[in-house]
Amino acid sequence: MAECVFCRIVAKQIPASVVHEDEHTLAFMDLGQVNPGHVLVAAKAHAENLYALDDTQAAAVFRAAAKVARAVRDAFSPEGLSVYQANGKAAGQTVFHFHLHLVPRHDNDGMNLTWPVKNPPRERLEEAAAKLRARLR
Ligand SMILES: [Zn+2]
């Protein structure tokens, strides 16, 4: 995908501050830096989102995320760390090449995610679980 900004970063056509690279992933500093140590972990091969990752990519991305997260913890000593990953415009995805954010967190750092729980009855949860199990067979 020649016009994809992350493909161009992977191809080294656009500079990035790389922190980790392996066969399937590239981790680099997010330009926006919500907090110091904010890193993106991207699949090297173009995949638009989580749905498009194959099993090898999915495993590699999370293996790299855990490894880089430990480095972020050791280097920046955040009080916490959020993993953020968006799929589709409605979810807030802005670069349509799979990546996840490792965001070091501190009390009152201004990053907020509203979590509007609906607490449906157990029967609704069972219906939803059955729907998903049918698609996971
Ligand atoms: Zn791409």
Max distance between CA atoms of the chain, in angstroms, equals 52
Instruction: Give the up-direction half-sphere exposure of residue 58: CA atoms within 13 A in the CB hemisphere.
Output: 7
Strand partners, 83: 102
The model's pTM is 0.94
Residue 48 to residue 56: CA distance in whole angstroms: 15
Measure 127 CA to ligand 1 centroid, in angstroms: 36
Measure 71 CA to ligand 1 centroid, in angstroms: 25
So which residues are the catalytic ones?
99
Q: Residue 111, Cβ neighbours under 10 Å: how many?
A: 13
Measure 80 CA to ligand 1 centroid, in angstroms: 29
At 48-93, the pLDDT tens digits run 999 999 999 999 999 999 999 999 999 999 999 999 999 999 999 9
Cβ-Cβ contacts under 8 Å for 48 (sequence gap 6 or more): 96, 97, 98
